[in-house]
Amino acid sequence: MISRPKGTNDILPDEIWRWHKLEAMIRKECACFGFKEIRTPIFEETHLFQRSIGEATDIVEKEMYTFLDKGGRSMTLRPEGTAAVVRAFVENNLKGAGLPAKLYYLGPMFRYERPQAGRYRQFHQFGIECFGSLEPALDAEVIMLAHELYQKIGVKDVVLKINSIGCPDCRPKYLEKLRSELAKYKDRLCENCQRRSITNPLRVLDCKEEKCQEVIADLPHLQDYLCDECSLHFTNLKKILDIWELPYVEEPRLVRGFDYYTKTVFEFCFDDLGAQNAIGAGGRYDKLVEEIGGESTPAVGFAMGMERTLLAVGDKWQKEPEIDLYIVSIGQETKEEALRQLLLARRHGIRTEMDILNRSVKAQFKQADRLDTKYCLILGPDELKDNRVKLRNMQSGEESEYQISEWLGGLKL
Ligand code: AMP
């Protein structure tokens, strides 16, 4: 037997309603906030990700699905959404349509990670990207949408963590300090961090290894190195969050796995998920559009992990019935009429099923129950002779008889 690739999932018909519901909530919220959908290719030229995410990040170093196409070009299955959206923003001159540009996307992402609960090699993200302002109001817009969405989805205990990681003016001073501090404790760091302390020292702050955590606890805080502009930006963002009474926790050690972030970074955590508890994250990237070849345009984005969000929802959502009507035919002579009524009902947009396995009447009712139908249309031979049918409301048990041309009027959906 051929199995699915490690770290991937089949989303089965029985659970797809949860995805549809989440997607519908996402689309509704995006419409409410004025974000428009953008769909970009699932693969891009490899150097787009190398240049934007950064060469010395885990994703680019070891997690990308990269391949040569038949023309010998290096392509990569997208590991995240921002780089591709920025590329599309520049290539299609979306700035020309006016700023702010507010975009959203939904779809699969690919990272060659070690699979575990909540961590997959193919997973889905919903993301938003908002272009066009240096003001903290832009960061706040993105954070507010994410917050509101989690509340509506029913993941109320989500914790918002925020931090500022500075800009190219102030961060280098901190990185220099960090490198020299880390050099002192080199022997106490894990192998990965020994390497990162030279190539990308900010990433050390994100290490979960216990021995590294001990070192990290004593390292200087980036916030003490922020320039006036970054510091004011962070203070003003917090003011807006306070006005809206959105709860947040300042997390001075919070950094992200991408090099493109400037100033604000944030994460939404849901503790019940264990190790993989981040259900969404984002930040500001004021230099990325320029780096990808566009005119300098500041921007902020957010991405939600859809699998993890659904794990956080757990069994809080109730499945809605998937059919409205089941046609029960009693005896062979009613089958022809049942077929006519089936087509008629479907043409009226009524979600309808009937038996096509030649089941007994008892088995047909059992199937109707299993499908959780709202109504049964019952075709009995005696009634049919008088052109009459019965309609049973499966919730109340109430049954009424109709002329065959009139039963549709008895449905209350
Ligand atoms: P990132 O793009 O790394 O900022 O991740 C944004 C969100 O995507 C995370 O908070 C997770 O919820 C989700 N995510 C990232 N990597 C994975 C993965 N390998 N499997 C499942 N979800 C993921």
Sign (positive or negative) of CA dihedral 321, 325, 331, 335: negative
Task: Assess contact for 100 and 140: CB atoms under 8 A.
Answer: no
d(CA 217, ligand 1 centre) in Å: 25
Q: Rounded to whole angstroms, how far apart are CA atoms 327 and 165?
A: 62
Give the pLDDT of residue 136: 98
- Which token pair is 279? 């259900």
The one-letter amino acid at 272: D
Give the pLDDT of residue 101: 98
Of the candidates 249, 58, 35, 69, the one whose C-alpha atom is nearest the C-alpha of residue 141 is 35
Q: Rounded to whole angstroms, how far apart are CA atoms 413 and 345?
A: 13
Task: Assess contact for 59 and 257: CB atoms under 8 A.
Answer: yes
State whether residue 226 is helix, strand or coil: coil
Question: Is residue 307 lining ligand 1, measured as CB closer than 6 Å?
Answer: yes
Give the pLDDT of residue 257: 84
Q: Which atom of ligand 1 is nearest to the CA of 308?
A: 12
Question: Is residue 82 lining ligand 1, measured as CB closer than 6 Å?
Answer: no
- Which token pair is 160? 């918002």
DSSP character for 322? Answer: S
Give the pLDDT of residue 235: 98
Give the pLDDT of residue 275: 81
Q: Is 177 exposed, middle or buried (0-12, 13-18, 19+ CB in 10 A)?
A: middle
Instruction: Give the residue, out of 276, 285, 306, 310, with the most ligand 1 atoms within 8 A of its beta carbon, to mutate for a pocket test.
Output: 276
Give the pLDDT of residue 273: 85
The torsion defined by the Cα of 184, 186, 187 and 189, in degrees rounded to 10, comes to 130
How are strands ordered across the β-sheet holding 43-45?
43-45, 74-77, 66-68
Domains of the chain: 13-170+226-313 (3.30.930.10), 325-410 (3.40.50.800)
Residue 394 backbone phi and psi in degrees, to 5: -75, -20
Question: Is residue 283 lining ligand 1, measured as CB closer than 6 Å?
Answer: no
Q: Which atom of ligand 1 is nearest to the CA of 306?
A: 12
Sign (positive or negative) of CA dihedral 54, 56, 59, 63: positive
Give the pLDDT of residue 206: 87
Give the pLDDT of residue 208: 85
* Helix, strand, coil share (%) of the chain residues, nearest 5: 40, 20, 35
Q: Which atom of ligand 1 is nearest to the CA of 121?
A: 19
d(CA 305, ligand 1 centre) in Å: 5
d(CA 264, ligand 1 centre) in Å: 18
d(CA 242, ligand 1 centre) in Å: 27
User: Which residues in the chain land under pLDDT 50?
Assistant: none
Task: Assess contact for 82 and 129: CB atoms under 8 A.
Answer: yes
Q: Rounded to whole angstroms, how far apart are CA atoms 117 and 23?
A: 22
